[in-house]
Structure 1
């Protein structure tokens, strides 16, 4: 039955509606204005390294389940079809007798249940720690994502503040250039004042242009860290005052090795190695299986009549396999496993020392950067006050134009140094938090 013409647009709309909704939902998922917390959240959901870590977890979980599946009954079937080209013969007295038939076939159904196995027992006991190691690896990747994205975010904010400072300076310098040129035309000063103003203005515009170009590259880098589409627009939102309020951190905290995910990974690995050592220690124990099978057998000299009659057999039993002598393989593997445990103990001690060094270094850098930031904040305020005074004196004809240029250059340098110090203290705070193992991830 054909659909009436006036109904077809309605039917087409219903068919396309789910696709339209899906397309709109995908567009809404991609924000163009993000805070630092939202950038981190987006990175943890979309960064390729984090996605790969999650896939590694899924792969590891499949490996664990595959190993544990040996505890379940193993059922198999086997089919055999034979054609005896030359049948076996034997001698009974003086007679030579042909044995068997030309065609043989059988189907074997067998179920096997493991009752005890050192291999499967190791898989069961180590599954918990294998899962823990997979989760810890993902946590490590997330922590690195938090630190990297945060530093890239702060770097962009620093560059934006530099652009704002350049814009303010350029606005002042343009006015100074016009004022100096007007004074030159009025005969109040010679042309060197407005020439100096022109040079200063050109340099500021050039520096701003270079900073603006670097900002594009920094946005691209942040998008890469976040897993954000390269061609999509990204705008950052931040509260400068709130960010400065969050600079402080408790520097009396003591480093706790157990808080570091790297040390947690070594502890989980230590459990696995102990289980592995026990595996070789008790390797002399037998592997015990229970089994049952059923096999219908067919034989006939005529292939067409082969499956007319079945001669079934069935068995149920218990099987134990005991390793008696393996050429000292078990002993050598046991010694090797014990050496691996000793090696890991040394590695854990080295990791504790490394963590302590990272903590002391991060703490020293943070304290130094914090003092530098506080100092440069006061210097920026003083430089602004000095510039205001020099500008007023220049307008009144008390100071020369070169003094105004020096004051303005000092102001711009003090402001740029202040924001560089702000970025460094924020970055060193992140390093200190990572050294303490206090960075929280979802």
Structure 2
């Protein structure tokens, strides 16, 4: 079935639009705020890892005291007498400062930077997903308020109709045209409608509270909302919707980043088997030996180091490889889950469309039947029981029309959410 979709809204200066409600939720919702901090944290971690390419600064200073002075004794040699030289002070100071730059580390730094950069993208995608989830929650809560408000209006109309019917039955009874049972039936029905109206008003109050919680807007400002109008719209075929979801859904990109990170972690573990090349510039000072001069000297070094713990990096690589495989399977499982989500949302839209059409037809028939029943009751062709049944059918038809209408809207927005954007 092909459908054509568009939405119109009544614009009132005093009413709160759905877009304004969504924007308020984005600004005030604690889940979204929390996710923003996760993005900031990932960004600062990335900035920290980019500094791994800069030289490493080091400095140290110490003051030492020996238990006693040390001396160097040279025995007599030929005509030369014995010689004793103080080789270390009892109290001495030492100081060093320098820079160390790793020229090559087997790709470990590059891997860490790539992972932290990927984590920024991942957290941004999760933030986008959370944003869309909150938007859908607000939209459904917004529609629930409108729906429950209309249900209250339906019961108020029913209350007016039953009250009018009760007064008419009472008048007919006083004139001796109907039995007292007609008046009593109308009175019982009036009490039942009052009960239903009270429940509907309670549901409306709960819907307002829920929307207020999501948006942070006081309930008194949520009583004037814009009413969406709906007509036919076209839903593409399932395959095209699925392809759009593969391109748009941020959660798929986030899971892809996890696969990428697992691969880079393998590279970092492999780098442990590779040598590290470094250059170092250092200044050292020590006055420990009083006969050595100068006390401070500069040193330039170029070195190579290799250090690993037997097979530990090898098994770490295998562990990361298994993590990559797990991440890939999770990604594939997510794709299938999204495909199923789209199919369900697609069928829900078509079903909601059919239900709305049936509800509209049923309402039209119920209105005609109720008008006819009113005329027949006035002419004493049918009993009060028949008129009450006709009125109950009309109320139920009105209620079903309201519920079907908003279920249709919700189904459309849920399909949009499943696809990741406009259909």
TM-score normalised by the chain length of structure 1 = 0.82
Distance in 2 (CA, whole Å) between partners of 1:418 and 1:247 is 19
Q: CA deviation at 1:387?
A: 0.8
Distance 1:344 1:75, change over 3 A: same
- State the secondary structure of the residue aligned to 1:34: coil
Q: CA deviation at 1:300?
A: 9.4
Alpha-carbon contact 1:32-1:233 (below 8 Å) kept: no
Distance 1:236 1:378, change over 3 A: same
**Match among 157, 166, 173 for residue 168 of structure 1:** 157
Distance 1:319 1:225, change over 3 A: farther
- State the secondary structure of the residue aligned to 2:241: coil
Distance in 2 (CA, whole Å) between partners of 1:164 and 1:75 is 74
For residues 374-405 of structure 1, what are the alpha-carbon distances to aligned partners after superposition, in whole Å with 9 as ceiling and x for unaligned? 11111111111111111122223222211110
**Deviating more after overlay: 200-209 vs 340-349:** 340-349
The residue number in structure 2 matching 1:394 is 377
Distance in 2 (CA, whole Å) between partners of 1:392 and 1:297 is 115
Residue 346 in structure 1 maps to residue 335 in structure 2? no
Distance in 2 (CA, whole Å) between partners of 1:350 and 1:34 is 40
For residues 217-275 of structure 1, what are the alpha-carbon distances to aligned partners after superposition, in whole Å with 9 as ceiling and x for unaligned? 2222122222x0567743342234x2x23765434533123332222212122222222
- State the secondary structure of the residue aligned to 1:187: coil
- State the secondary structure of the residue aligned to 2:380: coil
Distance in 1 (CA, whole Å) between partners of 2:270 and 2:289 is 53
Distance 1:299 1:98, change over 3 A: closer
Q: CA deviation at 1:119?
A: 2.5
**Match among 92, 103, 108 for residue 96 of structure 2:** 108
Residue 180 in structure 1 maps to residue 169 in structure 2? yes
What are the ranges of 5 or more consecutive residues in structure 2 without an aligned counterpart?
Answer: 1-12, 76-81
Distance in 2 (CA, whole Å) between partners of 1:91 and 1:102 is 17
Residue 141 in structure 1 maps to residue 123 in structure 2? no
Q: CA deviation at 1:138?
A: 0.3
The residue number in structure 2 matching 1:259 is 248
Q: CA deviation at 1:88?
A: 4.5
Distance in 2 (CA, whole Å) between partners of 1:246 and 1:108 is 79
- State the secondary structure of the residue aligned to 1:255: helix
Q: CA deviation at 1:423?
A: 2.5
Q: Would you say how many aligned residue pairs link Structure 1 and Structure 2? A: 399
The residue number in structure 2 matching 1:128 is 117
What are the ranges of 5 or more consecutive residues in structure 1 without an aligned counterpart?
Answer: 1-30, 302-308
Distance in 1 (CA, whole Å) between partners of 2:83 and 2:400 is 112
Residue 316 in structure 1 maps to residue 313 in structure 2? no
- State the secondary structure of the residue aligned to 2:286: strand
The residue number in structure 1 matching 2:148 is 159
- State the secondary structure of the residue aligned to 2:98: strand
Alpha-carbon contact 1:274-1:341 (below 8 Å) kept: yes
The residue number in structure 2 matching 1:84 is 66
Residue 65 in structure 1 maps to residue 47 in structure 2? yes
Distance 1:368 1:229, change over 3 A: closer
Distance 1:88 1:418, change over 3 A: farther
Q: CA deviation at 1:99?
A: 4.0
Q: CA deviation at 1:90?
A: 6.4
For residues 272-322 of structure 1, what are the alpha-carbon distances to aligned partners after superposition, in whole Å with 9 as ceiling and x for unaligned? 222222333344332233222223334599xxxxxxx98222212223222
Distance in 1 (CA, whole Å) between partners of 2:17 and 2:237 is 27
> How large is the RMSD of aligned CA atoms in angstroms?
2.7
Q: What are the within-5 Å matches in structure 2 for residues 20-419 of structure 1?
A: 33-88=15-70, 92-93=74-75, 99-117=87-105, 118-226=107-215, 228=216, 233-240=221-228, 242=229, 244-245=230-231, 249-251=235-237, 253-256=240-243, 257-298=246-287, 311-323=295-307, 325-419=308-402
Distance in 2 (CA, whole Å) between partners of 1:236 and 1:86 is 91
Residue 426 in structure 1 maps to residue 409 in structure 2? yes
- State the secondary structure of the residue aligned to 1:254: helix
TM-score normalised by the chain length of structure 2 = 0.86
For residues 166-212 of structure 1, what are the alpha-carbon distances to aligned partners after superposition, in whole Å with 9 as ceiling and x for unaligned? 11111122222222222222222222222212111111111111111
Distance in 2 (CA, whole Å) between partners of 1:87 and 1:183 is 128
Distance in 1 (CA, whole Å) between partners of 2:42 and 2:14 is 35
Q: CA deviation at 1:160?
A: 0.5
Distance 1:337 1:316, change over 3 A: same
Which of the pair has the greater relative contact order for Cα pairs under 8 Å at 6+ separation? 2
- State the secondary structure of the residue aligned to 2:88: coil
The residue number in structure 2 matching 1:304 is none
